[in-house]
Amino acid sequence: MPAAAQSGGSPSAAAPGVRREADAALHHALRLFNPGRRGYAASVIIAGPDTDMKLSTGPQGLYMQVLIAVVAGALLGHFAPDFAVQLQPLGEGFVKLVKMLIAPIIFVTVVVGIAKLNDTVGVGRIGLQAIVYFEVMTTLAMLIGLAVAFLVHPGAGMNVDPAHIDGAAVAKYTNVPHLTVQEFLLNIIPNTVVEAFSKGEILQVLLFAVLFGLALSKLGRRGQTIVAVIDKAGAALFVVIGFVMRVAPIGALGAMAFTVGKYGIGTLAQLGLLMLCFYLTCALFVLGGLAVVMALCGLNLYALLRYLKEEFFIVLGTSSSEAALPTLIEKLEGLGLPRSLVGLVVPLGYAFNLDGTSIYFTMAIAFIAQALNIDLGWGDYATILGVLLLTSKGAAAITGGGFITLAATLATLHGKVPVNAIVLILGIDRFMSEARAITNLFGNAVATIVVARWQGVLDVDRVRGVLDGSQRAELPEPA
């Protein structure tokens, strides 16, 4: 681990030469990613009387800037770790900017979509179909992760003695009670509407938005004025997202520099086989499983991946799929998918359709058992799958939910695998979060397309045209 991680040193602790080089590199990066540079605006065309913004696909495009930022951040973290760890606020600040907008964007998108749909039964059908798809795909993801871990045995040969495990580093996760099914369902209901927005609880905001949209739909013409105001407010919010995305490269630079600077490249080498297996398994799920699903819809997955390249690099740099949620909603609407459907399926997917996280859970548990030389039978793995099908749904509801879910799942094995053993993967969890978040991102994009297909509202020709660039991705003009 780098000196910065061990001693908590400040930038002044770095050698003068390294500090000067780091200062020069950061100065160059900030000039390169100056938000005032031309060549970037919103991610898709926003068709309206006062807005017409398009993302540049040339070398000045957002995806290229974020890619350069990620590489620059990794280099800073490796060669100047003491300085790099000081850049953490850049990444955290960008993610906070995006999260600030998630709740209001979900609200306006869902309310306007449902109010214009005028079909209460249709809303319920969309939600039910989405949940069914989520359960099928997350179960498949868990099975794939378990199969790879069982075949490759990434933890074999580590021979870790359970008696020598120090669980102090993960005590804040193992000592926190996991949400039961009843608690999780009750947590969807906010104490107040204001609390739902202030805490940024996606499911709580979604619940209120659905109810409010249904109410406006029932009001008929009397509610159209309110719908029009909310619709125009939504257009303004997406313009704000365009502003925020201009600083995405700076956020990616800070987040990547901090991650590599604090944890070090050496951490990857120590648990490299698990890292490699996990990344390859996520790639197999996306490029294999999701590609088949897209083909059944008559579409090409690789074209969709190109279409979402900006979101890919934002998630890669920030390790947070939430950082790309607003622009993902925007781009899916740009494909011609109904706003009511996108507004329901995407937020639900961020809570229930965690494909990358599901792969991570089963691989991590199998790895820990192998590292401790503990043989788990098929009955144990069946128990793990059954528990994860329920507990994994609450992983996004609380901070550190992934580790808390792991701890809760291991606890169901009644001491066969010590809960404190999750400390074995603590050092590389941050590096694995990129693959989890990227897989979740693409999984939810495909899920929305699938539900649109089931609903009979998928215009395959239009989607193909937007994905291959022959048509413009346009959003409907606000009412």
What residues have CB less than 8 Å from 87, skipping those under 6 apart?
A: 26, 73, 76, 253, 254, 257, 258, 261
Percent of the chain whose pLDDT exceeds 70: 74
> Using CA of residue 441, residue 442, residue 447, residue 450, what is the dihedral sign?
positive
Find the helix or strand (DSSP H, E) in which 267 lies. Answer: helix 265-270
**Burial state string for 410-439 with b = 16 or more CB within 10 A and e = fewer than 16:** beebeeebbbbbbbbbebbbbbbbbbbbbb
The alpha helices in 401-425, defined as continuous H runs, are 401-411
pLDDT tens digits for range 252-309: 888 878 877 876 766 556 577 888 899 999 999 999 999 999 999 999 999 999 999 8
Which of 253, 258, 317, 256 is CA-nearest to residue 82? 258
Average pLDDT along the chain: 76
What residues have CB less than 8 Å from 421, skipping those under 6 apart?
A: 160, 162, 165, 368, 371, 372, 410
Please count the residues of the chain.
479
Mean pLDDT of all residues in 119-123: 70
Residue 451, both tokens: 């539900």
What pLDDT does residue 439 have? 93
Mean pLDDT of all residues in 24-37: 40
Which residue is it, tokens 């919010």?
237
Q: Between β-strands 45-46 and 474-475, what pairing exists: parallel, antiparallel or unpaired?
A: parallel
Mean pLDDT of all residues in 156-162: 75
Mean pLDDT of all residues in 62-83: 83
Residue 341 has pLDDT above 60, yes or no: yes
| CB atoms near residue 479 (< 10 Å) | 15
Phi first, then psi, for residue 475 (nearest 5°) are: -95, 150
Amino acid identity of 250? I
pLDDT tens digits for range 74-100: 888 888 888 988 888 888 888 788 878
pLDDT tens digits for range 373-412: 888 777 778 878 877 776 666 555 444 556 667 777 777 7
pLDDT band at 36 (very low <50, low <70, confident <90, very high): very low
Residues 40, 260 contacting (CB under 8 angstroms): no
DSSP assignment of 130-168: HHHHHHHHHHHHHHHHHHHHHHH-TTTT----GGG--GG
pLDDT tens digits for range 187-198: 888 899 888 888
What pLDDT does residue 221 have? 82
Report CA 199 to chain centroid distance, whole Å: 18
Which of 128, 323, 338 is CA-nearest to residue 213? 338
Residue 153 has pLDDT above 90, yes or no: no
What pLDDT does residue 166 have? 58
* CA distance readout (Å), 41 to 47, 150, 243, 303, 363: 13, 46, 7, 22, 40
- For 264: left if phi > 0, alpha if psi spans -120 to 50, otherwise beta; the answer is left
| CB atoms near residue 332 (< 10 Å) | 28
Q: Domains of the chain, with CATH numbers?
A: 86-248+270-473 (1.10.3860.10)
